[in-house]
Amino acid sequence: MNQDDRSWFLRGMRDGMPIALGYLAVAFTLGIAARNSGLTAFQATLASLLNNASAGEYAGFTVIREQLSYVEMAVMIFITNMRYLLMSCALSQKLASSVSMPERLLVGFGVTDEIFGVSVAVPGYLNPRYSYGLMAVAIPGWALGTCLGVVMGNVLPASVVSALSVGLYGMFIAVIVPPARKNRVLAGLIVISMAASLLFAKVPPMSGLSTGMRVIILTVVLSAAAAILFPVKEEDDAA
């Protein structure tokens, strides 16, 4: 690893620390759900290392608790995590053409809502080592939180676990506010997306859809509308 790659990796680890701390708190509840489904600490930790998605893991643990089939589990997790396909496609546009397919697949494996939000905020092309740095701290934080949830999740008061999870929301605010202050169109889209997300969550029939499906619909509709109404000029791309 050359000096530039090392610098990107360390930068990713630095930016991933808030994500890891937030995951450590949030995953407590996931660990409790895993234990209630009959999983051991090792099994739950391994699940979090291989499936970096809270909703997907909750769905999987629910299927295990209800003793449903593998097919039902696969379908449920696929639908729940479908939004990551869009995130991976969007993030691939920030990778240089020289980035190999194995590296692209590894970057895609580590895509979560938080890692995606931090990654897309990086100016210019994204060095895969930055993503590896994010993953190096965020994924162990998620897995460790799950493990602790299985082992001692009920020891901490629910209010403490809930308070710790607020850190993730603070991180999201830190990601979206700086670019929104520089771009009114982006600021408007953020406000509209928040309002639309709340509307979809409360009003039938959209409220009956899974969270992942609602995110996909909103992402496609709002991004398409923004691309048509506010296209990026070629000279901006060149810059």
Q: What are the residue ranges of helices labelled H in the chain?
A: 3-36, 41-50, 54-66, 70-80, 83-92, 101-109, 113-120, 128-152, 158-164, 166-182, 184-202, 211-229, 234-238
- pLDDT at position 239 is 41
For residue 25, name the pLDDT band (cuts at 50, 70, 90): confident
> Does position 57 have pLDDT exceeding 70, yes or no?
yes
- Predicted confidence (pLDDT) per residue in 165-218, tens digit: 565 566 567 667 777 787 888 888 889 988 988 898 888 888 887 766 777 788
- pLDDT at position 164 is 58
> Does position 94 have pLDDT exceeding 60, yes or no?
yes
pTM for the model: 0.69
| 94 secondary structure, DSSP code | T
Instruction: Please tell me whether the peptide bond between 102 and the residue prior to it is cis, using omega within 30 degrees of 0.
Output: no
Provide the mean pLDDT of the chain. 82
